[in-house]
Amino acid sequence: MKLTIVVDTEDPRGIEDSFKIVSHFHKRYVGGSYSGTQVSYHKIAFIKMLRKFAKHAVEAGKEGIDPQSLRFTKDYADGIFSEIRGL
C-alpha cells in the first residue's frame, strides 16, 4: 500500500488531521505509537526506573562525578529514552 498526503501549511486543522492519519498507519504497520518527545511510564516501571537511577547516582558519587548536576541527569534520561524507543 502506498499513500500520498498533501499538507497545506496554512491549515492548522488539516495538519493535525494529517498527523492523525500518519500516526494511525504507523501504529498499524510499524507497531506502537510515535509520540515524538513524549515517553510514558506505568507506575511500577517508573518506580523501578527511579530506583535504578538512585543506584547509578550513588555509584557516580563514589567515582567523583556530581550526581546532582543537570548534565548527569540529562545523560541518564537520554539513555532511558533511547532504550524505550529502541534506538
**Residue 10 sits in the same domain as residue 29:** yes
**Residue 84 sits in the same domain as residue 50:** yes
**Residue 43 sits in the same domain as residue 14:** no
Q: What is the pLDDT of residues 36-53, one digit of tens each?
A: 566 667 889 889 989 999
> How far is it, in rounded angstroms, from Cα 18 to Cα 24?
10
Contact by Cβ (8 Å): 50, 76: no
Q: Which domain holds residue 17?
A: 1-34
> How far is it, in rounded angstroms, from Cα 79 to Cα 16?
30
**Residue 30 sits in the same domain as residue 57:** no
> How far is it, in rounded angstroms, from Cα 8 to Cα 56?
47
**What's the grid cell of residue 77?**
534520561
Q: What is the pLDDT of residues 25-84, one digit of tens each?
A: 877 877 765 555 666 678 898 899 899 999 999 999 999 999 999 999 999 998 988 887
**Domain count of the chain?**
2
**What's the grid cell of residue 12?**
492548522
pTM listed for this prediction: 0.53
